């Protein structure tokens, strides 16, 4: 039975507990000794850990562990650079006798995937331009099975079951609302951009049905979802008979959504709907990371450092009196 969750860990305490392996690697330190570099997690969060001086015997058993396994550890909670970390002393595999309930370990988006999919599909169905509508519906319907569980990242923002749908849904809600503020925007293009911008995350990232990712596919490593997306959509748009300008504009939206070369976009957005798509994407990722970091922070205290937010430590407001 799981008693200790990541959110309950207190610095300096020594404890025993069950966690799911999120990432695992055996590495060699500067002292030439082998150590285990591991990320453990449950449905309340993740924490990285180290086990130093791994013996040859241990090496053989540890190399059989993989992402998604639930293990039992004995460890001390240390703090390094403002982040909690585990110093693991004992580690073992679990079995049926440990009474593992997978729901304790899997992080998932807060809404029902079928409902999120239905919301997104409805917005796609409302696109006036028939080519854009067809393109969106086709990609949603062809990928429905994967979309229902896929995470939007292997780490960081929306790295959870159905995280990609959650990301698309909230971006759509924000984007549609902003079309009422910036009335010169063409909603068809905003909706299309949101629905398609990360569609190739489905092949960039590898994920099991619990939304747990072991990392990137070969294509994902070498090309990434932006280039993969442009390639995929170009083919589809040719088949659908898109005219030249429309085809290039859709490709540009995908290409420019990360806004700068350092983040994978070779071009900055060159029309307003593409610019808005970038802001929606960026805003949703940051809001997600903030909400997530504060979930494991006590009122009146600062969070751990958040790597994706320039290593900031966020403050959680005290409860109102
Ligand atoms: Fe993206
Ligand atoms: Fe995105």
Q: How far is the CA of 20 from the centre of ligand 2 (A)?
A: 26
Q: Which tens digit of pLDDT belongs to each residue from 192-236?
A: 999 999 999 999 999 988 888 889 999 999 999 999 999 999 999
User: What is the residue-averaged pLDDT of the chain?
Assistant: 94
Please tell me the predicted confidence (pLDDT) of residue 320. 67
84-117 exposure pattern, b = at least 16 Cβ within 10 A, e = fewer: bbbebeebeeeeeeeebeeebbbbbbeeebeebb
pLDDT < 70: residue spans in the chain = 156, 320-321
Residue 60 confidence (pLDDT): 92
**C-alpha 226 to ligand 1 mean position (Å):** 7
Q: Are strands 83-93 and 45-51 parallel, antiparallel or unpaired?
A: parallel
CA of 244 to the centre of ligand 2 (A): 25
For residue 52, give the 3-state DSSP assignment: coil
CA of 267 to the centre of ligand 1 (A): 14
d(CA 123, CA 119): 6
Predicted confidence at residue 107, as pLDDT, reads 86
pLDDT confidence of residue 321:
57
pLDDT score, position 62: 93
Which domains are seen in the chain, by residue range?
6-104 (2.40.50.140), 113-292 (1.10.3210)
What distance in angstroms lies between residue 257's CA and the mean position of ligand 1's atoms?
Answer: 7
Q: Report the C-alpha gap between 150 and 11 in whole angstroms.
A: 33
Closest CA to 86 of 98, 72, 100: 72
Using the mean position of ligand 2's atoms as its centre, give its distance from the Cα of residue 176 in Å: 16
From the CA of 175, the nearest ligand is: 2
Q: Tell me, what's the pLDDT at 154?
A: 83
pTM of this prediction exceeds 0.75: yes
| Strand ranges in 10-164 using DSSP code E only, listed in sequence order | 14-28, 34-42, 45-51, 70-80, 83-93
């Amino acid at each position: 039975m799981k008693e200790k969750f990541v959110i309950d860990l207190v610095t300096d305490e020594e404890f025993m507990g069950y966690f799911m392996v999120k990432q695992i690697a055996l590495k060699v330190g500067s002292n030439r000794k082998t150590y285990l570099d591991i990320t453990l997690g449950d449905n309340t969060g993740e924490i990285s850990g180290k086990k130093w001086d791994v013996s040859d015997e241990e090496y053989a058993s540890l190399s059989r562990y993989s992402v998604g396994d639930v293990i039992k550890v004995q460890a001390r909670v240390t703090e390094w650079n403002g982040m909690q970390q585990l110093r693991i002393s004992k580690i073992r595999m679990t079995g049926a006798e440990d009474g593992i309930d997978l729901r304790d370990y899997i992080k998932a988006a807060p809404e029902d995937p079928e409902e999120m999919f239905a919301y997104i599909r409805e917005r796609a169905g409302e696109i006036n331009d028939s080519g854009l509508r067809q393109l969106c519906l086709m990609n949603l319907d062809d990928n429905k099975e994967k979309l229902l569980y896929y995470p939007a990242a292997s780490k960081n923002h929306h790295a959870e079951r159905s995280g990609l749908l959650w990301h698309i849904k909230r971006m759509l809600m924000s984007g549609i609302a902003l079309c009422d503020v910036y009335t010169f925007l063409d909603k068809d293009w905003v909706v299309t951009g949101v629905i398609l911008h990360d569609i190739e995350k489905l092949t960039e990232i590898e994920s099991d049905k619990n939304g747990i990712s072991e990392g990137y596919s070969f294509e994902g490593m070498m090309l990434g979802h932006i280039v993969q997306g442009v390639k995929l959509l170009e083919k589809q748009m040719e088949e659908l008979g898109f005219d030249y300008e429309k085809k290039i504009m859709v490709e540009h939206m995908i290409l420019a959504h990360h806004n700068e070369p350092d983040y994978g976009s070779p071009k900055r957005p060159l029309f307003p709907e593409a610019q808005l798509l970038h802001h929606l994407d960026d805003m949703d990722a940051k809001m997600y990371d903030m909400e997530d970091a504060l979930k494991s922070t006590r009122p009146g205290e600062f969070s751990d450092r958040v790597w994706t937010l320039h290593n900031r430590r966020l403050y959680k407001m005290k409860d109102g009196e």
